[in-house]
Amino acid sequence: MSLVTLQDLTIRHSGNPVLTNVNFTITKGEIVTLVGPNGSGKSTLLRAVIGALRPNSGQVIRAPGLRIGYVPQKLHIDPTLPLTVRRFLSLPTRVPNSMADQALDQAGAGPLANRQMSRLSGGQFQRVLLARALLCNPQLLILDEATQGLDQPGSAAFYQQIETVRQQLGCAVLMVSHELHVVMAASDRVICLNGHICCEGEPEHVASAPEYRALFGTGTQGALALYRHEHNHSHDSDCDHHSHEAAE
Amino acid sequence: MILFDSFLIYAALAGLGVAIAAAPLGCFVVWRRMAYFGDATAHASILGVALALSFEISIFAGVLIVALLMAATVSTLSNRGYAMDTILGVLAHSALAFGLVAVSFLQGVRIDLMAYLFGEILAVGLLDLIVIWAGALLVLSLLWWRWSALLTATLNPDLAYAAGIDPRREQLVLTLALALVVAVAIKVVGVLLISAMLIIPAATARPFAGTPERMAVMAAAIGGLSALGGLQLAFAFDTPTGPTIVCLAALLFTLSSVTTLLFRGPSA
C-alpha cells in the first residue's frame, strides 16, 4: 500500500527550480533515506510530503487519513516561551499521561517529562521530538537530518532508537541524513537526490552507482561495508538488541 | 475607597477589560517576536481616527479597519528583501506621521489629539465600555478556540503543517486579534502605549511561569493589577491615567526581573 506518492513534482524557490520532475513512492513499513549534497532539495522534498510546500507542478498524493510523525531538522524555541516536555507532547492534541509516558519511553526519553524544553541537551531534545512524533501512532515517520548537532555515538544511538521504534510500530520511515554510512545500511531503499533523482535502489546498488560516486566520491563505501557487517550481525538473532545497546 | 463614582467604575472596568485581553495576546507577541508588529498596528490607528472623524463613522470601526489594513500590508511586505524590523520601523513611524498630518487637515473638528495618543480612560462612557468588553471577550474567545494550533504554529510552521494546521491561518487569527485589541485599547491607553499593555505584563510573568498557559493567566493578572492600581495612583497623584498604568506595569516588570536575578540567578 502506498502511503505517499509524488508525481512529476516540480518546486521552484523564487524562480529557481529546486526539484524537477521527481517521481517517488513510499509504501507501508519501508525505510527510505534521501541522500544528496547541500541544496539538492532533500528538505524541500520532505516539506512537500508534509504539505508545507505547494508544488509548482505535479502532485502529492497522500493515503486518505495518513498519520505523519514529523521530526524537524531543528526547532528553535524562543527563551520567552516556557514549555515543559509534557506540555510540548500535548501540542496540538492533548494526550493522556499514560500515552505521553509510553511515547517518551519508546523514544528513550523516559525521565524528562517535567523538564523545560530549553534546558535539554541536544540528544535529549531530539528524543523528545521523536516522542512527540510517535504520539499520533504514525504510519509514516519523517526525519529531517534529525541527528544534526549530535556527536557520532549520539547519532548512532538515535538511529538505533528509530529502528527499534520501526519494529514496534511497523511504520514507514522517510529520512534525510548526511551520515551516509550509518543511515544507508539501515535503509530498504536509498534515493540519491540532486535537484532530480540521480539514482535509487538498495543501499549497495546506490553506493556503487556512478551518479552517487560522482556526488560523494568512493570514500563512503568502506564505511558502509563495515557497518553493514555489524548490522547484519545484530539481525541474525532477533533478541540481540539489548546486548547491542549495552555495548554503547 | 475612591472607586464610588460611576466614571471611575467605568474607567476601572475599561482598564480591566483591555488588560485581560491584551496580556494573553501579548504572550504571543513576545513568543513570536512581533513587538514591532504591535507598534505598527497601533501607530497606524491614529490614521483610523482621522478617517473615522472625516467620514463620521465610529472611531472603533475606523481604527479596526486601518489596523487590519496595516497588518495586511506588513504581512504582504515581509520576505520581500528588507528585514522585518526595517519594514516595521518604516511602516510604524510613517503611519503615525501620516495619521498626525491627516488629523491636522480635519476642518472644523476640534479634537484632542492627546486623548488618542495617550488615552483618556476617565472619559469612557457606557457605550465605550460595552464595545471594550465585547472586543475583549471576542479576543479571548479567539485565543481560547485556536490556542493549541496557535502554540504549535508559534513553535514551528512545519510542525504545524505536519499536524494538518495551516500556520498562515493562525497568523491571520493573531493579526485579527491584535487589530481588535488596538481598536478597543485606544480609548484606554492611547496609540503610543498599547504595545506596553501587550508586552510588559507578558514579560513580567515569564520568569514565574512553567507552561504557556500559566504565563498567559499570570500576564492577565499582572495587566489587570496594573490597570486598577494605575488608575488609583493617577487619581491620587493627579497624573495622566494611561501613562500611569504603564508606569506601574513597568515597575512590576522591574520587580520581577530583580527578584529573578536575586533568587534564581541570571539564567532562570
What does the pLDDT look like over B183-225, one tens digit per residue? Answer: 999 888 888 889 999 999 999 999 999 999 999 999 999 999 9
Residue A91 has pLDDT above 60, yes or no: yes
pLDDT in tens, B21-60: 999 999 999 999 888 888 888 888 888 988 888 888 888 8
Residue A149: predicted pLDDT: 73
Q: How many CB atoms lie within 10 A of CB B122?
A: 16
Would the CA dihedral through A87, A93, A96, A100 be positive or negative?
negative
Q: Which one-letter amino acid corresponds to residue B17?
A: G
In a domain, A237, yes or no: no
Element at A198 (helix H, strand E): strand A197-201
What is the rounded distance in angstroms from the CA atom of residue A217 to the CA atom of residue A195? 18
Least trusted range by pLDDT, from A106-120, A222-236, B6-20, B127-141: A222-236
Question: Does A183 share its domain with A196?
Answer: yes
- A175 and A210 part of one domain: yes
Q: In this structure, is residue A227 part of a structural domain?
A: no
Closest residue in A to B79 (Cα–Cα):
A14
Contacts of B31 in chain A (CB under 8 A): 78, 80-81
Non-local (6+) Cβ contacts of A70 within 8 A are: A50, A133, A142, A144, B158, B159, B162, B163
Question: How far is the CA of B8 from the CAs of A75, A237, B5, B13, B130, in angstroms?
Answer: 48, 80, 5, 8, 15
B268 — contact with chain A (CB < 8 Å)? no
User: pTM of the prediction?
Assistant: 0.83
Distance CA B46, CA A82 (A): 35
Query: What's the pLDDT score for residue B40?
Result: 87
Within 10 A of A126 (CB to CB), how many other CB atoms are there? 28
Tell me the nearest-neighbour CA distance from B122 into chain A, angstroms. Answer: 34
User: Which set of grid coordinates corresponds to residue A55?
Assistant: 508544488
* Chain B CB within 8 Å of residue A93 CB: yes
* Residue A185, amino acid: A
The beta-strand segments (E) located in A43-154 are 57-62, 68-71, 140-144
Under the banding of pLDDT at 50, 70 and 90, the label for residue A217 is low
Residue A36 contacts B where some CB pair is shorter than 8 Å: no
Query: Is the pLDDT assigned to residue A111 strictly greater than 60?
Result: yes
B157 CB near a chain A CB, below 8 Å?
Answer: yes
Tally Cβ neighbours within 10 Å of residue B84: 15
Report whether B71 contacts B179 (CB < 8 A).
yes
- The one-letter amino acid at A41: G
How many distinct structural domains can be found in chain A? 2
Domain that holds residue A185: 1-67+140-221
Where is average pLDDT lowest: A149-153, A233-237, B213-217, B252-256?
Answer: A233-237
Residues A151, A55 share a domain: yes
User: Considering the domain boundaries, does residue A207 fall inside one?
Assistant: yes
- Does residue B163 sit at the A interface (CB-CB below 8 Å)? yes
Pick from A46, A22, A132, A39: which is nearest to A86 by CA? A132
The SS3 assignment for B151 reads helix
Q: Which residue does chain B place closest to A50, by CA atoms?
A: B162
Q: Is residue A248 part of a domain?
A: no
pLDDT at B68 over 70: yes
- Show Cβ contacts of residue A125 under 8 Å, excluding neighbours closer than 6 positions: A75, A117
Does one domain contain both A130 and A167? Answer: no
Q: What is the CATH number of the domain that holds A194?
A: 3.40.50.300
Cα distance between residue A69 and residue A88, in whole Å: 14
Q: What is the reported pLDDT for B117?
A: 86
Strands (E), chain B: none
Indicate if the pLDDT at residue A88 is higher than 50.
Answer: yes
From chain A, the residues in CB contact with B205 under 8 A are: none
Question: Residue A239 falls within a domain, yes or no?
Answer: no
B35 touches chain A (CB under 8 A): no
Say if B187 is an interface residue toward chain A (CB within 8 Å): no
d(CA A21, CA A24): 10
Interface probe for B, chosen from A91, A114, A115 (most Cβ of B below 10 Å), is A91
> Are residue A128 and residue A152 in the same domain, yes or no?
no
Confidence of residue A181 (pLDDT cuts 50, 70, 90): low
Residues A50 and A154 in one domain: yes
Q: Is 60 exceeded by the pLDDT of residue A241?
A: no
Which among A32, A25, A20 is positioned nearest to A6, based on CA atoms?
A: A25
Please check whether residues A98 and A27 belong to one and the same domain.
no
The pLDDT of B85-89, averaged and rounded, is 83
A155 & A200 share domain: yes
Residues A9, A61, single domain; the answer is yes
**d(Cα B110, Cα B223) in Å, to the nearest integer?**
33
Would strands A68-71 and A140-144 be described as parallel, antiparallel, or unpaired? parallel
- In this structure, are A101 and A149 located in the same domain? no
Distance CA A194, CA B113 (A): 61
> Is there a domain that residue A16 lies in?
yes
Task: Give the residue from A73, A83, A90 with the most B CB atoms within 10 Å of its CB, the best one to mutate.
Answer: A83
Taking CB atoms and an 8 Å limit, are B162 and A87 in contact across chains? no
The C-alpha atoms of residue B123 and residue B116 are separated, in whole angstroms, by 12
Query: Within a domain: residue A226?
Result: no
Q: Are residues A126 and A156 in the same domain?
A: no
Tell whether A4 and A121 lie within a shared domain.
no
Mean pLDDT, residues B226-240: 93
Residue at A210 is within a domain = yes
Residue where a domain terminates, one of A96, A117, A137: A137
Q: At what angle do helices B35-55 and B167-185 cross, to 10 degrees?
A: 50
| Calpha distance B264→B252 (Å, rounded) | 17
Q: Give the bridge partners for A24, in sequence order.
A: A6
DSSP string covering B208-240, please?
G-SSHHHHHHHHHHHHHHHHHHHHHHHHHHT--
Starting at the earlier edge strand, list the strands of the sheet with A16-27.
Answer: A16-27, A2-13, A57-62
